[in-house]
Amino acid sequence: MKGAGVPTDRRAVAAWNASVAVEELGGGSHPVALLLHSEEGPDHDQPFARAIAETHRVLLPSHPGFGGQPRVPRIDRPVDLAYLYLALLDAYAVDACVLVGASLGAWIALEMAAMEPRRFSALVAIGPIGLKFNGRTDLSFAEVLVGSQDAISQLLYSDTAHDVWRDRKETDDVIRRAEQRESLLHYGWEPYLHNPRLRHLLARVAMPALLVAGADDGLVPDGYYAAVAGALPDARVVSIPDAGHFPQIEQPARTVSHVVQFISGGANRPLSLSAKGRRP
């Protein structure tokens, strides 16, 4: 993995009456990428962040309730986290940046992109949750909040040997996993892992978007990523073989390659009317 030598700093940033733990990676002259980690926690997206930091100044905040941070009263839904991170960008005086999120982080990124579409030049959503396209008797996502560790692992990972919690029996690890599962549950219990309004807001997400899908993702229903792409004005899907719901964890090199190419290349083109004419 690239990025071993990038400068790293950690600080607590005041935003929206909360204190957000932020890891800053990469040079200050690079364009900014806000990286929103998955429900496996900030530590497990850190190697991915270091690779992106080769070309970008990466801001990696820990979601309240993850990475050892406490949850914040009245931040109960991913849409609340989206407001928190818009305030965080305000605190950094970042007016334009790239948004990258994985799973829960991608859900938050989509909420942010719908709120302030002109602020983001490109969006990368790796295994986004948060959206429901199937019917009312179809579960929006497979059950991963209440289930055995083995069953959950099999849904989320192509190879359960890659499960970041596998064989971690130390008390600190058991507590951290439990805290993070509780926080995912808190943010996504009902409606189950989605915001019914978000699907209809995706038409506002006008910036170029890359959807990264694990080819063996057992969490999402059939046809999910195609449906997400279809609801976005300018999106394409890349499928990562031998990866489940967290391609950035299971296949980091392949995932980084697609993401870096996207956010360093054409995705940074100036905003203009798209060929489909759907850009605002």
Partner 1 sequence: MKTWYFSECPYPALPDASTYDSIRVSLPSRNYDPAVGAKLYDMYLDLWQQADEVGLNVMTNEHHATATCLVPAVPVIAGILARTTRQARILILGNPIANRRDPLRVAEEMALIDNLSKGRLEVGFVRGVPFEVLPANSRPTGMHDRMWEAHDLILRAWETHDGPFSWEGGWHHRYVNIWPRPYQQPRPPVWVTGTSPSSVAPIASRGHTMACFVTGFDATRVLFDEYRRHFALANDGAACPPDRLAYGVQVYVADSEEKARQGAMALRWYFDANKVPPYLATPPGYTAPSRMATTGTSTAPIPQARQAKGQPFEWLTGKGVLFAGTPDQVVSQIRAFYNSVGGFGHVLMMGHAGAMTYDQAARSLDLYAKDVAPRLDDLMTASPAPS
The residues that touch partner 1, with contacts defined as CB under 8 A, are 145-149, 171, 174-176, 178-179, 181-182, 184-186, 189-190
Instruction: Read off the tokens for 89.
Output: 């960008």
Q: Which is nearer to partner 1, 176 or 245 (CB)?
A: 176
Q: At its nearest, how many Å lie between partner 1 and the CB of residue 146?
A: 5
The values of phi and psi at residue 69, to 5°, are: -85, 145
Q: At its nearest, how many Å lie between partner 1 and the CB of residue 41?
A: 13
Q: Which is nearer to partner 1, 163 or 179 (CB)?
A: 179
Q: Which is nearer to partner 1, 177 or 254 (CB)?
A: 177
Question: Do 45 and 248 contact (CB within 8 A), yes or no?
Answer: yes
Q: Which is nearer to partner 1, 121 or 183 (CB)?
A: 183
Q: Which is nearer to partner 1, 184 or 231 (CB)?
A: 184
CB-based contacts of 75: which residues, under 8 Å, 6+ apart? 18, 64, 81, 84
Classified as helix, coil or strand, 61 is: strand
Q: At its nearest, how many Å lie between partner 1 and the CB of residue 150?
A: 10
Q: At its nearest, how many Å lie between partner 1 and the CB of residue 175?
A: 5
Q: At its nearest, how many Å lie between partner 1 and the CB of residue 66?
A: 12
Instruction: Read off the tokens for 189.
Output: 């219990």
CB-based contacts of 244: which residues, under 8 Å, 6+ apart? 155, 156, 157, 158, 159, 162, 214, 216, 217, 218, 219, 250
